[in-house]
Amino acid sequence: MVTLAHRITLGLAGLVVATGALAQATPVYRYVEPSGRVVYSDRPPPADAKSVQTRRLGANYIETSTPDLAAQTASERFPATLFTFECGDICLNAEALLNKRGVPFAAVNVQSDEQGMVRLKTLTGEDKAPVLALGDKIIVKGYNEARWQAALDEAGYPKTPPARRAPVGGAKSEAPAPTFTEGTKAVAPPPKGGDYPK
């Protein structure tokens, strides 16, 4: 049951915290009055106060997300689309590069998506993948790490993904760095008819 005294105390605590944040290193006192009321104040407690605790509040700060903002701006101006299929290491390395840089992208499997194949042919005039499309202005045919990095830089994508916080108490595992191969492969259309096992 929340009493009026508790509400006032919580309100005062919120006010003290806000005031302390503005003052940036002002000590905050927590004490219990003889009547049993808990008080938070920036003024030293009276002599008859019990359970006196002193805390210093540091400056408030806002954690900025510049890489997130840069990625968001770049993805609005140059949305990334990866035209791919099951082409093994080449396509996996292409996707790994985008993930490594934290680039949000749409993956289009042109082997199973006929509309995706039409889009690929419209953009490149070919039926070879992988292809990186950044909007309709920057098209990179075939996978070559240096060319893809340069195209992503030109589009304004950050070079590294935003920092992630490790889960509390979780073990941090290191994934092996991907090996990059270059090239393209022709895309074979999916077989017509049912491909269910007989």
- Where do the domains of the chain lie? 4-56, 66-162+179-186
Please give the pLDDT value at position 108.
92
Does pLDDT of 101 surpass 80? yes
Taking 60 as the threshold, does the pLDDT of residue 85 lie above it? yes
Number of helices and strands in the chain (H, E) = 5, 9
Q: pTM for this one?
A: 0.52
CATH architecture under which domain 66-162+179-186 falls: 3-Layer(aba) Sandwich (3.40)
Q: How confident is the model at residue 137 (pLDDT cuts 50, 70, 90)?
A: confident
Q: Is the pLDDT of residue 105 over 80?
A: yes
Comparing CA positions, the residue from 85, 152, 90, 94 lying closest to residue 120 is 85
pLDDT, mean of residues 71-97: 87
User: For 14-47, what is each residue's pLDDT tens digit?
Assistant: 665 555 555 455 677 788 888 887 777 778 888 8
In this prediction, residue 82 carries a pLDDT of 93
Q: Which tokens sit at 195?
A: 């491909």
Tell me the average pLDDT of the chain.
76
**Has residue 174 got a pLDDT over 50?**
yes
What is the rounded average pLDDT of the residues 123-145? Answer: 88
- Report how far residue 24's alpha carbon sits from residue 59's, in angstroms, rounded to the nearest whole number: 4
Could you tell me where the beta strands, DSSP code E, fall in 49-104?
A: 50-56, 80-84
The two three-digit tokens of residue 194, written as one number: 């049912």
Max intra-chain CA distance, the chain: 89
Burial 27-58 (b: 16+ CB within 10 A, else e): ebbbbeeeeeeebbbeeebeeebeeeeeeebe
Pick 116 or 12 by higher pLDDT. 116
The answer for residues whose C-beta is within 8 angstroms of residue 170's C-beta and 6 or more apart is: none
Tokens of 154: 């030109």
The residues facing 28 across adjacent strands are 55
Q: Is the pLDDT of residue 1 over 90?
A: no
Residue 171: the pLDDT is: 52
